[in-house]
Structure 1
Amino acid sequence: MGKTLFHKVWDFHVVKNIADGLDVLFIDQHFLHEVTSPQAFDGLRNRDIKVLMPNRCVATADHNVPTVNQSKPIRDPLSAAQVASLKTNCEEFGIELFGIGHENQGIVHIIGPDLGITQPGMTIVCGDSHTSTHGAFGTIAFGIGTSQVEQVLASQSLVLSKPKTMKIEVNGTLPFGSTSKDVILYIISKLGTEGATGHFVEYTGDVFEKMSMEERMTVCNMSIEMGARGGLIGVDQTTIDYVLERKEISEEKISWWTSLNTDPDAKFDKSVTYSAENIFPMVTTGTAPDTGIRLNERIGAAPHLSEKSLKYMQFSSDENVADQAVDYVFIGSCTNGRIEDLRAVANLIRGKKKADSVNAWVVPGSMKVRSQAIEENLDQIFRDSGFEFREPGCSACLAMNDDKIPSGSLCVSTSNRNFEGRQGDGARTVLASPLTAAASALTGKITDPTIFLDAN
């Protein structure tokens, strides 16, 4: 019987089999940031242990950094302490750091692919749940806890049980205006937040084959929102071309990459199939990512929607989601803070003005993305339309920095989670694609982006 991509990569990295189904798995690449690493480094100090392979570690500051006036001291004492601690730890243990102001600084899951560090066939970990983003390259990439961060620093390996495998196949032609973000929101709405629990998901079908690498990263990024341990996509010419633009790779290595793809006779523990024709622009309505609906539906049509979440969101089940007034729009995060996302928004809003009632933030995912946006004059398009163009960071994805959404305000966000208080105490979050977020900023209410795409 053939093997899946997941099993090939996993088996290649097994250092040792342990009783009770546990494996010692070698980790190719370890990404670190300021939030989950301080205690891990302290653990090494307490045991007088060095980092085993600092050359396989890269660190960046992203969660706590401000996105305005980054040249000035961080005002929040805890955030300042965490960023400073990361700098001290990396200097002491010999780990490369892209700190505030560095040309490679940015959100950890954006800089890895963009700098050519992320490559097919790797095992990748980070103390951040959305490490699954890197799976778009045919890697086994997953988030780990602080104690595991310490384990990887000390041994460059982890003791793990092998997850089950799941195939999600989507074929057909997406309706006009639908994007990769809508695809993953649709899948999560069908499966729920626990539908893929205990599994590594492989996304297959012509919809994913047609996607760019940045679109694939958006899909894999949100794999964990349906309970998956991670998500990955097979290696093809799109993958290879993306890496080759950033790194010089031998033909032998590329051949190995493609050999990792799932064999035709491989079996998955679970499989589901969806039709692309049913996937329209989506938004969430509750306080979990599985409450997505089409923009022409009533809020009560959302699956997995509880009365508690309706109350928090200040929604009524018989209202149309497109009638909801918007206070903030956030375009950014490790889900949708890449250059293609910014280009899509700029193309939609060019020559238009945002609604006066809306605060609209565009936060590039890295310094490289920001520089590229400026080179392409996208920053001027944002400013001309009344959008704020900020400096790189996790920003309003989560309330760990200055970019918090005020209590009671409704934010259409391109990030990955809409939990209670995720963007600020009492903040209400609607997840959407960059196109939907941009359209909503223009009208002041949740809006189907196709009305503007038709105009273009």
Structure 2
Amino acid sequence: MNTLFDKIWDQHVVQIVDDGPTQLYIDRLYCHEVTSPQAFEGMRSRGLKPFRPKQIFCMPDHNTPTHDQDKPIEDPVSRKQVDTLARNAEEFGLTHFGMLHENNGIIHVVGPEQGLSLPGMTIVCGDSHTSTHGAMGAVAFGIGTSEVEMVMASQCILQAKPKSMRITVNGTLGKGVTAKDLALYIMSRITTSGATGYFVEYAGEAVRNLSMEGRLTLCNLSIEMGARGGFIAPDEKTFEYIKGRPYAPKGEEWDKALAYWRTLRSDDDAVFDKEVLFDAADIEPMITYGTNPGMGIGISATIPEPQNQSDEKALQYMGFKAGEKMTGKKVDYVFLGACTNGRIEDFRAFAGIARGRQKAEGVVAWLVPGSWKVYEQICNEGLDKVLEEAGFEIRQPGCSACLAMNDDKIPAGKLSVSTSNRNFEGRQGPGARTCLASPLMAAAAAVTGVITDPRELL
């Protein structure tokens, strides 16, 4: 009768507090430079040491420049945050993948690719997009800075148990429709608050057919629906992906882990607090037209009439009108990357459209791998050459233009087609206008200079 969420949660309960939150054991804590300084300071002021330092991994990603990483960071605030994390990790005896370390990258890209994020785990980080790791069959969620300190000190957290929701997508995704389109479609239907208070399990044929990279993208965007997190039951595809990764179990430990992981699924008669059903055939390549990730439409649709003042404000900010199509709108910037779409599959998709074509004049394109491992794969597969011939350059890993915390900011008024996860006012830079889309849609915009249905170029 249990859902997979119940099973993983219950196995990690240390103590249930009457009329209060649950004390939950945490298997893995990830720390980046933005939300950890106060936590370390709190530990220091109380004379505490991390309870289980081997379970904690640190790396800078938000403030790292995506060029000249071998030189000192120019921005003093960014430099201070990155340097502070390095010092704190050293002082507290924690593993630290600093800039230019072969394992450095965006924390939510590195965790799965290093085999640090595993099925059945509880995983937290002071970052809302921690839900990404749910693709591995883990219960992963973002936490606040005071909670980061709590986990460092005790390897536990106080949490109220969320309700459970299952989103089932039946059927097969059509040509040119990716995991990003699936996520944007779900958000356009249930809105950015439709999963508030829930932990989401994604199921159905369309979800099972996604690659691991696609699943990571889908789970990454769970938070944008208001969910506490989102995850997918692990299967043979998951195990194949994990096997042989640096931190994955080896030998006998692997066999033992695999036997346990194979039990991780919701019971056939499990009851969810809410069930939502979608048909993959209804989904086409998606793009957002407003200032939240739920304001998205299929590429062949027209911008809908505003339903309230907030919608009107969003259209005004974006400079769009109801009844218009998104196709043909002039694009200034294209961003491929972020913890949403900075993986090798995303670069393959982008290169597939760029191959034999040229970057449109007047478009600034930032292609940013999610980690040094992804960068290495891009070069090993010759994608860097394909992209170079088309007029693109690959930058160094980091969060880049996903958020205005480093050099890669979109100038005011400019329109960006971005593979990142948020399109709020000023998210990519003060006054920047952001349309969220898949790597295929981003590539189509980059080579045509306007928003284009990627299916026309496939």
Question: 1:290 is aligned with what amino acid?
Answer: G
Note if contact 1:44-1:150 (Cα within 8 Å) is conserved in structure 2: yes
Residue 380 (str. 1) matches residue 379 (str. 2):
no
Question: 1:370 is aligned with what amino acid?
Answer: Y
**Structure 1, residues 107-129: CA drift from partner, whole Å, max 9, x if none?**
00000000011100000000000
Q: 1:387 to 1:168 in 2, by over 3 A?
A: same
Note if contact 2:359-2:390 (Cα within 8 Å) is conserved in structure 1: yes
**Aligned residues: percent identity?**
56
Note if contact 2:187-2:225 (Cα within 8 Å) is conserved in structure 1: yes
The 5 Å alignment of 1:389-404 reads 389-404=394-409
- Superposed displacement of residue 146, structure 1: 0.3
Note if contact 2:63-2:406 (Cα within 8 Å) is conserved in structure 1: yes
The residue aligned with 1:270 is 274
CA separation in 2, counterparts of 1:320 and 1:265? 44
CA separation in 2, counterparts of 1:353 and 1:177? 20
The 5 Å alignment of 1:14-413 reads 14-246=13-245, 247=248, 248=250, 249-300=253-304, 306-413=311-418
CA separation in 2, counterparts of 1:265 and 1:55? 38
- Superposed displacement of residue 245, structure 1: 3.4
> SS of 1:330's equivalent?
strand
> SS of 1:71's equivalent?
coil
- Superposed displacement of residue 347, structure 1: 1.4
CA separation in 2, counterparts of 1:229 and 1:336? 21
- Superposed displacement of residue 351, structure 1: 1.1
**Structure 1, residues 308-366: CA drift from partner, whole Å, max 9, x if none?**
00011011113211121100000000000001111111111111101102111110000
- Superposed displacement of residue 21, structure 1: 4.7
Question: 1:371 is aligned with what amino acid?
Answer: E
CA separation in 2, counterparts of 1:306 and 1:381? 40
- Superposed displacement of residue 221, structure 1: 0.2
**Structure 1, residues 38-65: CA drift from partner, whole Å, max 9, x if none?**
0100001111111111100001110000
Q: Number of aligned residue pairs: give it.
A: 452
Which consecutive unaligned segments of at least 5 residues does structure 1 have? Answer: none
TM-score by length of 1: 0.98
Question: 2:164 is aligned with what amino acid?
Answer: T
Which consecutive unaligned segments of at least 5 residues does structure 2 have? Answer: none
TM-score by length of 2: 0.97
- Superposed displacement of residue 144, structure 1: 0.4
> SS of 2:304's equivalent?
helix
> SS of 1:340's equivalent?
helix
Note if contact 2:306-2:312 (Cα within 8 Å) is conserved in structure 1: no
CA separation in 1, counterparts of 2:140 and 2:378? 28
> SS of 1:103's equivalent?
coil
**Structure 1, residues 17-40: CA drift from partner, whole Å, max 9, x if none?**
111152110000000000000010
Note if contact 2:39-2:149 (Cα within 8 Å) is conserved in structure 1: yes
CA separation in 2, counterparts of 1:314 and 1:287? 11
- Superposed displacement of residue 386, structure 1: 1.5
> SS of 1:280's equivalent?
coil
The residue aligned with 1:425 is 430
CA separation in 2, counterparts of 1:258 and 1:373? 32
**Structure 1, residues 84-135: CA drift from partner, whole Å, max 9, x if none?**
0000000000001000110000000000000011100000000000000000
Question: 1:416 is aligned with what amino acid?
Answer: N
Note if contact 1:322-1:445 (Cα within 8 Å) is conserved in structure 2: yes
Residue 452 (str. 1) matches residue 451 (str. 2):
no
CA separation in 2, counterparts of 1:138 and 1:327? 38
CA separation in 1, counterparts of 2:130 and 2:307? 27
CA separation in 1, counterparts of 2:306 and 2:80? 42
Q: 1:4 to 1:61 in 2, by over 3 A?
A: same
CA separation in 1, counterparts of 2:306 and 2:281? 19
